Structure 1
Amino acid sequence: MWLKSQILLLYCIASEVWMAKQLNSRRNLPWGLYSVEDRGSAGWDRLKRSLYQGKSCRIRGCCTGRNDDCSFNIASRAAICYCDQFCATGPPGPVDCCADYWDVCDNTVEPTRSDEPWPPPTSGCYKDGRYYGEGTIIKDNCNSCKCFQSNWKCSNEVCLVRPDLIQNINSGDYGWKADNYSQFWGMTLEEGFKKRLGTLPPSHSLLNMKEIPGSSPPEGKFPEFFAATYAWPEWIHDPLDQRNCGASWAFSTASVAADRIAIHSDGEITDNLSVQNLISCDTKNQHGCNGGSIDGAWRYLKTHGVVSYACYPSFWKHHLDPPGENHCYVSSEYGQNYTNGPCPNDLEKSNRLYRCGSHYRVSSKETDIMEEIMDKGPVQAIMKVYEDFFLYKEGIYRHSYKAGSKWKTHSVKLLGYPALWSMNCGVHYLTKMDRNRNSGFPMKTFFILIPENESQ
């Protein structure tokens, strides 16, 4: 009896091997080289496969090209079917395909093999139709997720890009539209605040600085619209890309100073000023790409001065992280008009230093601010930035309040005011920001800033 069982088992194994070889040998034959016997056998196999209406390919997954392992064993019919593209295009033709191949795999999109392991696992996790083994760690936007006992355990960070917030803004009546920007995907809100802003809240000395009063002319004396870019088109400098360097304190200061020097010199000096000079060399109570104060930046411009952007370009040698960003490549002494050495950029020969007089605070009256911009050029302002600002696409930005109450401070250059002030809704101001050049972010976009007491 034991001998008969062994013989029967060996016979079954041999039959399975023979069947697989026969199927594989038929797959290896070129077109048109089948005997009548082969065609009859193929027809019988096709009949057996067609009788099986299970979910072969839906379970196994589809494969591109030829993959002899991309098969499904129909035990109840003693047949093997395939879910690869070759089953429909190569010999012996579509008889090789599983019954549900045409519904699951035969479509206009090239079939791809399932990421699920075979046979199906008893543990692990799935996300977006893809299988992950136990202990796998993946990134879901800004959160880290680990597969633990067939469930995802994720961190709970607030992400800079929130699809639900984008949908809420775009479906609401906020006056502006939001969008998803790929370079922000994966960043937390705190990372966005730290890397994309960078101006410290105004110090007590700045807040207590005496305002310079203006002549306070009536609103009727002003044109309905004013923009410094139109009044001095050759002397107003475009904003620079801040990248992931939280130093708006330096970018806005250098830009306003460069514009005012050009206007004051009547166009004789139009060089853009080096932001990197401020970031790397103004280190007293300043933190480079991790934040700084605008009053400290103006003091440095008065005492030391900075070189031109051409002399010391931004992110020189890509020193974006400490201590590289704080390595100063120029040195200057108080009262000197030139640096002690040549420019870091050896293509630029002029190492001249540009200085400004003492900074001052403009009166908070709206007409005084308008008069200041029209007479002397752009001014610098500190604004609150809420998390929804990072999603801005177009329109007049106003905090949506659905985003939450967390905010940080940011400094910008005010270029003028639009015609909206004459519509009994107060004075609004134009500023211009440059977004990341390698993304879909709007570049050199005008923003209309609304005074805080109007936006309540």
Structure 2
Amino acid sequence: MSRVFILLSVVLFSICQTEQAHFLTDDYINQINNEATTWKAGKNFASDTPVEYFKSMLGSKGVRKSSKGPLKTDDSNYINFHYIPPIFDARIRWRHCQTIGHVRDQGMCGSCWAIATTSAFSDRLCIATDRKFNQLISAEKLTFCCYFCGFGCFGGWPIMAWRYFKYFGIVTGGDYGSNEGCQPYRVQPCSVDETGNNTCSAAHIEKPHRCRRKCYGNTTIDYHNDHFYTRDAYHLTAAMIRKDVMAYGPVEASFDVYDDFFSYESGVYVKTENATYLGRHSVKLIGWGVDWDVPYWLMVNSWNPNWGDKGMFKIRRGTNECGIEDLVTGGVPVTY
């Protein structure tokens, strides 16, 4: 009986190995480049990286089922933005806010929903305070302490993150290995070693961390005084996204991810015809523009700066590519 079990295990393992590598092969990447006309694919991951790794990073539950509202369709500050420029980059508009272009690394954890929302909130606080606040908000705190937001490393609802900011506040916290802020991120990043292998390729999804109510990064910070809030939490219609970004700063955006996206290198991403759906992902939207007559949204990803275009990517705008324009959330910071 034990021999049968071992043989069966070997067969199943072999099947999984075959399945998990197909969209990372050179042949598949070449196929993408033959088909895609607006973007270029390249080698971002080793071919033997397991599918579990990729699915572990897709933790957005989106906003379609997360709540019934509110849907923001207007704002008194929008009156200042009758003209929307064809090109906009928040890194240039608010060049002194160092967090806007910062690329984080979520590691072996589906915390993209937490990283995207805390990153956007960090930027918005910097903008609202005229750069007096210029640091990261804690993705660690949100991922493992907001129980109604979702399931930690197994995904969450971005709109609920903004609601957490509104009702409970959130502390500061920098990247893994830093002592920046009250509660730095404690999920180890995924890096490429000397042999070209991803250090997370053989790992499992991060186990839940204990929710702490004290500062363990910069211990000189008073935990109770280090809380920041939003006055609201909302979804945005496609027509309001650019006005909201111009008025308050970057927003969170979720979209459907297909297997060709993992090999994105440059250009304006448009899903190729035969790509396979794998899950939903959250990123930060910081601008827009046009490349070779193709309008795009400018995004900051959380798979470290070695992925894609230095950790960033562009995705087609105006056609709701992969649902990107249906799934945008934000909140306006409270300042004193």
Question: What TM-score comes out, normalization by structure 2 length?
Answer: 0.74
Does residue 229 of structure 2 align to residue 358 of structure 1?
A: no
Distance 2:255 2:16 in 1: 34
Q: Is the 8 A contact 1:382 1:409 kept in 2?
A: yes
Q: How does 1:10-409 map to 2 (within 5 A)?
A: 144-145=13-14, 157-159=19-21, 161-183=24-46, 185-188=48-51, 191-193=53-55, 195-204=56-65, 206=67, 208-213=69-74, 221-237=83-99, 238-284=102-148, 286-309=150-173, 310=180, 311-315=182-186, 324-330=207-213, 341=214, 343-351=215-223, 352-365=226-239, 368-404=240-276, 406-409=277-280
Q: CA shift at 1:390, angstroms? A: 0.7
The offset of 1:278, in angstroms, is: 0.5
Find the residue that maps to 1:164 and give its secondary structure: helix
Displacement of 1:454: 6.4
Q: How much does 1:346 deviate? A: 4.9
Measure how far apart 1:179 and its partner are. 2.1
- Deviation, structure 1 residue 313: 0.9
- Where 1:374 maps in the other structure, the secondary structure is helix
Relative to structure 1, is the Cα distance of residues 199 and 268 closer, same or farther in structure 2, using a 3 angstrom cutoff?
same
1:443 aligns with 2:292: no
- SS state of the match for residue 238, structure 2? coil
**Shift in alpha-carbon separation, 1:433–1:454, aligned structure 2, 3 A:** closer
State the distance in 2 between where 1:347 and 1:454 align. 44
Structure number with higher relative contact order (C-alpha < 8 Å, ≥ 6 residues apart): 2
Q: Which amino acid aligns with 1:313?
A: P
Secondary structure of residue in 2 paired with 1:415: strand
Structure 1 residues 256 and 398, CA gap change in structure 2 (3 angstroms)? same
2:299 to 418, 431, 446: 431
Quickly say closer, same or farther: Cα 1:348–1:450, change in 2 above 3 A: farther
CA drift at 1:386: 0.8
Q: Which amino acid aligns with 2:33?
A: N
Question: Structure 1, unaligned stretches of length 5 or more?
Answer: 1-134, 146-152, 331-340
CA distance, structure 1, for counterparts of residue 17 and residue 312 of structure 2: 35
Structure 2 CA distance for aligned equivalents of residues 287 and 274 of structure 1: 17
In structure 2, runs of 5+ residues without a counterpart are: 1-6, 174-179, 190-202, 324-336
Distance 2:300 2:17 in 1: 36
The structure-2 alpha-carbon separation of the partners of 1:178 and 1:454, relative to structure 1 and needing over 3 Å to count, comes to: closer
| Superimposed CA distance per residue, residues 332-376 of structure 1 (whole angstroms, 9 cap, x where no aligned partner) | xxxxxxxxx4x11255534311121111233321xx322221121
Residue by residue over 1:395-421, the C-alpha shift from the partner in whole angstroms, topping out at 9 and shown as x without a partner, is: 2111012223x2422122111111459
Q: Determine the C-alpha separation between the residues in 2 that align with 1:167 and 1:263.
A: 42
Deviation at 1:187, TM superposition (A): 0.7
Distance 1:235 1:388 in 2: 32
Q: Structure 1: how far apart are the matches of 2:37 and 2:103?
A: 26
- Per-residue CA shift, 1:52-111, capped at 9, x if unaligned? xxxxxxxxxxxxxxxxxxxxxxxxxxxxxxxxxxxxxxxxxxxxxxxxxxxxxxxxxxxx
* Distance verdict in 2 for CA 1:212–1:415, change over 3 Å: same
CA apart distance, 1:281: 0.8
- Contact 1:283/1:326 (CA < 8 Å) preserved in 2? no
CA distance in 1, matches of 2:161, 2:58: 16
Percent same amino acid among aligned pairs? Answer: 27
Return the offset for 1:378.
1.0
Kindly indicate whether the alpha-carbon contact (under 8 Å) linking 1:414 and 1:432 is maintained by their aligned counterparts in 2: yes
| 1:144 to partner: Cα distance | 3.1
The 1-side partners of 2:220 and 2:187 are apart by 14
Task: Give the Cα–Cα distance (whole angstroms) in 1 for the partners of residues 72 and 247 of structure 2.
Answer: 17
Determine the C-alpha separation between the residues in 2 that align with 1:172 and 1:206.
Answer: 38
Name the CA shift for 1:374/1:429 in 2 (closer, same or farther; >3 Å). Answer: same
Distance 1:242 1:455, change over 3 A: closer
State the one-letter code of the partner of 1:230. I
State the Cα distance separating 1:213 from its structure 2 match: 2.2
Distance 1:321 1:434, change over 3 A: closer
The 3-state SS of whatever aligns with 1:201 is: coil
Q: 2:218 and 2:251 mapped to 1: Cα distance? A: 33
The secondary structure found in structure 1 opposite 2:221 is: coil
Offset at residue 295 of structure 1 (A): 1.6
How many Å separate the matches in 2 of 1:271 and 1:293? 23
Q: Which has the larger radius of gyration?
A: 1
Output the CA distance in 2 between the equivalents of 1:444 and 1:322.
Answer: 21
In the TM superposition, residue 268 of structure 1 has moved relative to its aligned partner by 1.5
Give, as a single letter, the amino acid of the residue that structure 2 aligns with 1:359: A
Q: Superposition RMSD on alpha carbons, in Å? A: 3.4
Amino acid at match of 1:305: G
Cα gap change, 1:322/1:182 in structure 2, threshold over 3 Å: closer, same or farther? Answer: closer
Q: 2-side partners of 1:201 and 1:174: how far apart?
A: 28
Q: Deviations over 1:136-178 (max 9, x none)?
A: x989xxx833xxxxxxx88653435243321201223432222
How far off its partner does 1:452 sit? 3.9
Equivalent position amino acid for 1:168 in 2: Q
Q: 1:214 to 1:174 in 2, by over 3 A?
A: farther
What is the alpha-carbon distance in structure 1 between the residues aligned to residue 48 and residue 308 of structure 2? 13
Matched AA of 1:360? Y
Per the alignment, residue 100 of structure 1 pairs with none
